[in-house]
Chains A and B, each alone.
Chain A
């Protein structure tokens, strides 16, 4: 069964600093990979996705992520964080065949210091 690990439960960065959120997955084949963001009291918003092809994917709000097969990782990055980026970020993996259920990591809570 697939699994997703987000090793950092909490991360604090200063506004304007760069950000990298880590995600490692365990899956027998190349999975579909996603990053979602959840603001307090809100639903999950899709930031970006990787299905195949270019391993560096661009998303909304200035985020990008890089798929590294050798490291089973899909880390999320942003060059300059804004205060409005404070939220919880979830990495998810989906199956590449049959049903399309998502398996989520435990999330990383991002705090932005002004």
Chain B
């Protein structure tokens, strides 16, 4: 158990819908990262937050957004969902620029 929690574990929704994925980092970790894992794209970095501020952005679609709250938990919002958004979404956390610990992931299925 990495200490990073993610909810829900599974999510099934229809195209065009909006979903919110939630992540709680390890105690004391200020950085939260979101990654997407799909069969065709592999593991891709989406976005990083550090202590509530956006720190780095990767291949995140404009339909996707994220935020980190004062209690350091983070949410990833995915809207206007398409079939191609079906993937495993991982959250990771770290203390500064150190190793990242990953949560168990949320498996999103868009039908």
Number of interface residues of A (CB under 8 A): 23
Judge whether B42 and A107 touch: CB under 8 Å: yes
Residues A46-73 near B (CB distance < 8 A)? 46, 49
Q: How far is the CA of A103 from the CA of B41 in the complex (A)?
A: 12
What's the A-B contact tally at a CB cutoff of 8 Å? 62
Task: Give the distance to chain A from B88, nearest Cβ to Cβ, in Å.
Answer: 9
Judge whether B2 and A106 touch: CB under 8 Å: no
With contact pairs A100-B94, A101-B33, A101-B48 given, residues A46 and B99 touching in the complex (Cβ less than 8 Å): yes
B25 interfacial contact with A, CB 8 Å: no
Q: What are the interface flags for B13-50 relative to A under an 8 Å C-beta threshold, 1 for contact and 0 otherwise?
A: 00000000000000000010101000000111100100
Name the residue on A nearest B50 (C-beta). Answer: A99
User: Which of A43, A49, A90 touches B99 (beta carbons < 8 Å)?
Assistant: A49
A102 interfacial contact with B, CB 8 Å: yes
Judge whether A42 and B56 touch: CB under 8 Å: no
Q: How far is the CA of A105 from the CA of B66 in the complex (A)?
A: 25
The stretch of B67-75, B78-86, B102-110 in contact with A is: B102-110
User: Which of A32, A43, A96, A100 touches B105 (beta carbons < 8 Å)?
Assistant: A43
User: Which of B4, B31, B43, B101 touches A104 (beta carbons < 8 Å)?
Assistant: B43
Name the residue on B nearest A49 (C-beta). Answer: B99
Judge whether A100 and B48 touch: CB under 8 Å: yes
Task: Give the distance to chain B from A14, nearest Cβ to Cβ, in Å.
Answer: 28
Chain A to chain B contacts (Cβ below 8 Å), 12 pairs: A34-B100, A43-B2, A44-B90, A49-B99, A94-B97, A99-B55, A100-B56, A100-B100, A102-B43, A102-B45, A104-B43, A106-B42
A interface residue numbers (CB < 8 A to B): 32, 34, 36, 42-46, 49, 90, 94-104, 106-107
